[in-house]
Amino acid sequence: MTQPTVILATASYDHTIRFWEAKSGRCYRTIQYPDSQVNRLEITPDKRYLAAAGNPHIRLFDVNSNSPQPVMSYDSHTNNVMAVGFQCDGNWMYSGSEDGTVKIWDLRAPGCQREYESRAAVNTVVLHPNQTELISGDQNGNIRVWDLTANSCSCELVPEVDTAVRSLTVMWDGSLVVAANNHGTCYVWRLLRGTQTMTNFEPLHKLQAHKGYILKCLLSPEFCEPHRYLATASSDHTVKIWNVDGFTLEKTLIGHQRWVWDCVFSVDGAYLITASSDTTARLWSMSTGEDIKVYQGHHKATICCALHDGAEPATS
């Protein structure tokens, strides 16, 4: 199977994962996933594998094969896995679960290597660009920084008591972090480096982005510079694009008929892919705010999407 340069995948409550040709909108591969729903998808930096976070396992599928079977299963979580991601050279994976833990998995060895207790259901985990800190957000409204070098929690903050943090995103250069919650609010902090390695949060902005839940917030990638955007996907059926300089509303992406669960930028920030309860995923032009492709094939809500259209990291 020849590998597409652009890998786009979606997962749905219909218990399938689908791979799409981004330009044509054709679905070229469907994986049945009968064991559970899929909460999150992530593609490895080298484009070889797709991680599917389910309940309570994480499964790794070969992107370049037609095999319906996963190549690996990671099984020590005890509840829904809500977050999954990879370290920049793909050596290890991190995850966060409703079982209240954040875990680290070495992809070259079996089992889970590290576990951090959040004491509440974890909804979101992001890796700081320095590759040495994980930031988690949980159902009780706590944000915690896990210092992987010191192997401990280095910072805790609660932007809004008893309001679930649904999504976290960090600017590619490590300068900003945004947390989105169930009240439609985004909290923005400047990340400051102290004399130690510990990250300090300096409050920068509070953005009332939506009236409904924010299900995903995402800052634009490095190759989008000098433009810096924040995308917020909401239960109000829209995605809003905010200019990070002043947090003014740039565009509202209108087209989905139901909740928008997930979004991902193309590598240059020129496009955005979204996934919605209306069963579709959509490709949007950031310059016009119009949807230019609708990916139709799922029979139930499309919950998550993953895109990798960048270069693979240089092999050492």
pLDDT in tens, 216-246: 999 999 999 999 999 999 999 999 999 999 9
The two tokens of residue 30 are 């469907």
What average pLDDT does the segment 8-20 reach? 98
187 Cβ partners below 8 Å, 6+ apart?
159, 160, 178, 179, 181, 203, 205, 206, 207
- Exposure b/e, 150-184, CB count within 10 A at least 16 = b: eeebbeeeebeeeebbbbbbbbeeebbbbbbbbbb
Residue 192: its pLDDT value, please?
82
Q: Which residues pair with 126 in a beta bridge?
A: 135
Tens digit of pLDDT for each residue in 100-123?
Answer: 999 999 998 888 999 999 999 999
- Does the structure show a pLDDT above 90 at 24? yes
Mean pLDDT, range 133-141, rounded to an integer: 97
Residue 52, classified by CB atoms within 10 Å of its CB into exposed (0-12), middle (13-18) or buried (19+), is buried
pTM above 0.75? yes
Contacts with 291 (C-beta within 8 Å, 6 or more apart), sequence order: 253, 255, 282, 283, 284, 285
**pLDDT at position 280 over 60:** yes
Tens digit of each residue's pLDDT (9 = 90 or more) over 56-87 = 999 999 999 999 999 999 999 999 999 999 99
The first and second tokens of residue 85, run together, are 């991601």
pLDDT in tens, 159-170: 999 999 999 999
| Residue 1 clears pLDDT 50, i.e. is over it | no
Residues whose CB is less than 8 angstroms from the CB of residue 23 and which lie 6 or more positions away in sequence, other chains included: 6, 293
| Residues above pLDDT 70, as percent of the chain | 96
